[in-house]
């Protein structure tokens, strides 16, 4: 393979354009500017900002990004070759590319004759003219031009001579980079290598690649293409994009750096990778997929007791890299598959002293396993787990006791639902009775409990519920099914998960809610309250 001696590549990010085409993603102008800043800090070489002229938001992005002081990345404006039956001077989208004042313009053109005749309704020769005119015109304007060879791999497989003619036309017209695109995402790695090698041999020039993930091999295809001679890879953070997404840069970057020893700017900022990945997920308002390689929450999570026991001897027994290299962290999960090693490892992380207490880990483990047999799950409920462990050690006892609550839900003649909760709690022998409304029974109960506790623990006002999930555990039981409720709470930048299980969703929610509040109080008043 031709690129084994050349270990330098560049990374091209298209999260703000191709990634934004993913289902459920809609970036605001401010979102795009903040993501661009994060990508620049990650030392991404090229950031594709959008398609100027296609919508006002992208036009504003290119205007606003010029005001930013980027330290590394070059901004790319995306567009197409000129339209048929017009000239470059008359084509508004071509003129918008120029007006964007981006560092680089990337235009796509058809390289599959089928696409030219079917999608554009023009002859293959007319399509070559569109490519030639567009690249030549933009080069005469003094611009750096990347040519995205749309449908290149499908085109090559269907009619290699035409695909090569199309890309040669762009190269001879002055294109600075030729980007081979697998637009439909159907190409496999064993097909990539000969196509890239033949293109390099026949055309020359600087080759980049752009793979979609419709067959689940976009990262593998990109790596194969680099080995075959490509020197630039396009992709998106977390693999976001249309249909099944794009090559995931959060996987490709560490693969190319840590596994293949390629040199590029972003290889120097690997420790920021997980942070950027999560930031983009949050900005896109998407759940950060836990099973993503390198940056997912489960990437270095260990559940089996045998695994954890071995990890304590040497982390290389069950980890292919150190998590810190990519800014991630190791997590020891607590479940019915756990052994004493899991408990001891987790206890050490929490600062629980297990020395001289040989039965302590067994007592904690027995309680965890009994609760998991009832449907509890502690993998995402670290707060609940710590309260159990601290309770067994005698470091924690509850900060309040429930004396009773009532929740009333009613609907009026206008089909408006109303919920009210009343509650009695005991704090150090003092009883407090309060009531509150809420948008639902759980919300009303939460409001009433907080109201009752505020005079004793005013810091509860700062507690935020950031996530609430309900999982049916035995759906065949219908409305009598047992449910598991997971809550995520946050205060002062810290967050923790808690869990509750019951056949009554309000009871399960109450359990998780109480654990969340108790955990916050334990952390704030630690050492003040102990058993006995």
Residue 21's CATH number: 3.20.20.70
CA distance 179 to 182: 10
- The model's pLDDT over 187-213, given as tens digits with 9 standing for 90+, comes to 999 999 999 999 999 998 899 999 999
Q: Tell me how many domains the chain contains.
A: 3
pLDDT surpassing 50 at residue 57: yes
Residue 519 included in any domain: no
Task: Let me know whether 194 and 276 are in one domain.
Answer: yes
- The model's pLDDT over 128-159, given as tens digits with 9 standing for 90+, comes to 999 999 999 999 999 999 999 999 999 999 99
pLDDT surpassing 60 at residue 88: yes
Residue 448 included in any domain: yes
Task: Let me know whether 64 and 203 are in one domain.
Answer: yes
Facing residues of 46 across strands? 12, 74
Task: Identify the CA nearest to 271 among candidates 223, 316, 329, 314.
Answer: 329
Task: Let me know whether 85 and 193 are in one domain.
Answer: yes
Task: Let me know whether 143 and 195 are in one domain.
Answer: yes
Task: Let me know whether 435 and 368 are in one domain.
Answer: no
Residue 493 included in any domain: no
H or E element that contains 192: helix 189-202
CA distance 74 to 494: 35
- The model's pLDDT over 425-439, given as tens digits with 9 standing for 90+, comes to 999 999 999 999 998
**Contact criterion met (CB below 8 Å) for 473 and 501:** yes
Question: With b meaning 16 or more CB within 10 Å and e meaning fewer, what string describes 137-176?
Answer: bbbeeebbbbbbbbbbbbbbeebeebbbbbbbbbbebbbb
Task: Let me know whether 440 and 337 are in one domain.
Answer: no
Residue 330 included in any domain: yes
Task: Let me know whether 279 and 308 are in one domain.
Answer: no
Of 320 and 333, more confident: 320
Q: Is 98 helix (H, G, I), strand (E, B) or coil?
A: helix
For the record, the structure tokens of 363 come out as: 């007592």
- The model's pLDDT over 276-307, given as tens digits with 9 standing for 90+, comes to 998 898 788 787 888 999 999 878 777 666 66
> Residue 343's domain spans which residues?
301-373
pLDDT surpassing 60 at residue 92: yes
Residue 114 included in any domain: yes
Residue 316 included in any domain: yes
H or E element that contains 438: strand 430-438
pLDDT band at 531 (very low <50, low <70, confident <90, very high): very low
Distance set, CA 233 to CA 9, 70, 143, 215, 276 (Å) = 8, 21, 21, 18, 18
Task: Let me know whether 267 and 343 are in one domain.
Answer: no
Residue 161 included in any domain: yes
| Strand segments (E) across 123-221 | 144-150, 177-182, 207-211
Task: Let me know whether 147 and 228 are in one domain.
Answer: yes
DSSP assignment of 368-422 equals: HHHHHHTT---TT-HHHHHHHHHHHHTS---S-EEEEEEEEEEE-TT--EEEEEE
**Residue 314 buriedness (CB in 10 A; 0-12 / 13-18 / 19+):** exposed
Task: Let me know whether 270 and 315 are in one domain.
Answer: no
Domain at 407, CATH number = 3.30.160.740
pLDDT band at 516 (very low <50, low <70, confident <90, very high): very high
Q: So what's the pLDDT on residue 532?
A: 42
pTM metric for this prediction: 0.69
Task: Let me know whether 368 and 219 are in one domain.
Answer: no
Mean pLDDT for the chain? 89
Residue 389 included in any domain: no
Distance set, CA 248 to CA 61, 147, 151, 158, 273 (Å) = 23, 21, 19, 27, 12
Contacts of 253 (CB under 8 A, 6+ apart): 11, 266, 267, 270, 273
- The model's pLDDT over 445-454, given as tens digits with 9 standing for 90+, comes to 999 999 999 9
Q: So what's the pLDDT on residue 19?
A: 94
Examine the fold and report which residue of 456, 483, 504 is the final residue of a domain before the chain moves on.
456
């Amino acid at each position: 393979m031709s690129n084994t001696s050349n270990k330098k590549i560049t990374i091209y990010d298209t999260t703000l354009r191709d990634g934004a085409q993913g289902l459920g993603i809609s970036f605001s102008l401010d979102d795009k500017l903040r993501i661009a800043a994060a990508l620049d800090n990650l030392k991404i070489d090229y950031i594709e900002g959008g398609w100027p002229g296609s919508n006002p938001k992208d036009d504003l992005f290119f205007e606003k990004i010029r005001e930013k002081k980027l330290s590394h990345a070059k901004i790319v404006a995306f567009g197409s070759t000129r339209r048929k039956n017009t000239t470059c001077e008359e084509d508004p989208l071509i003129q918008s590319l120029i007006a964007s004042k981006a560092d680089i313009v990337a235009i796509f053109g058809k390289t599959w004759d089928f696409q030219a005749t079917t999608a554009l309704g023009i002859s293959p020769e007319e399509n070559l003219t569109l490519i030639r005119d567009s690249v030549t015109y933009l080069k005469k304007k003094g611009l750096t031009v990347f040519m995205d060879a749309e449908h290149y791999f499908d085109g090559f497989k269907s009619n290699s001579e035409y695909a090569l003619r199309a890309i040669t036309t762009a190269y001879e017209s002055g294109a600075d980079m030729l980007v081979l695109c697998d637009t439909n995402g159907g190409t496999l790695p064993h097909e990539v290598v000969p196509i890239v090698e033949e293109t390099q041999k026949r055309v020359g020039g600087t080759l980049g690649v752009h793979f979609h993930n419709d067959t689940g091999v976009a990262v593998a295809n990109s790596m194969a293409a680099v080995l075959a001679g490509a020197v630039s890879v396009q992709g998106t953070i977390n693999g976001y994009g249309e249909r099944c997404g794009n090559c995931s840069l959060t996987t490709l970057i560490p693969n190319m750096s840590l596994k293949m020893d390629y040199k590029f700017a972003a290889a120097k900022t690997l420790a920021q990778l997980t942070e950027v990945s999560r930031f983009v997920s949050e900005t896109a308002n998407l759940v950060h997929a836990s099973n993503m390689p390198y940056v997912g929450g489960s990437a270095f999570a260990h559940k089996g007791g045998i695994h954890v026991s071995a990890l304590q001897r040497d982390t290389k027994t069950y980890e292919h890299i150190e998590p810190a290299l990519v800014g991630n962290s190791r997590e020891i999960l607590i479940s019915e598959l756990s052994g004493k090693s899991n408990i001891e490892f987790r206890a050490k992380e929490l600062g629980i002293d297990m020395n001289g207490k040989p039965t302590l880990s067994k007592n904690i483990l027995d309680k965890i396993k009994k609760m998991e047999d009832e449907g509890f799950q502690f993998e995402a409920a670290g707060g609940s787990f710590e309260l159990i462990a601290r309770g067994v050690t005698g470091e924690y006892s509850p900060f309040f006791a429930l004396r009773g609550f009532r929740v009333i839900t009613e609907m009026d003649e206008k089909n408006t639902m109303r919920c009210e909760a009343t509650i009695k709690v005991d704090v150090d022998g003092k009883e407090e009775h309060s009531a509150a409304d809420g948008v639902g029974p759980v919300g009303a109960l939460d409001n009433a409990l907080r109201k009752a506790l505020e005079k004793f623990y005013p810091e509860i006002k700062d507690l935020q519920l950031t996530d609430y999930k309900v999982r049916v555990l035995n759906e065949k039981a219908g409305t009598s099914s047992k449910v598991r409720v997971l809550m995520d709470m946050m205060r002062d930048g810290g967050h923790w998960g808690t869990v509750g299980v019951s056949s009554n969703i309000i009871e399960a929610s109450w359990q998780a809610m109480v654990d969340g509040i108790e955990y916050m109080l334990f952390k704030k008043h630690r050492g003040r309250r102990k058993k006995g």
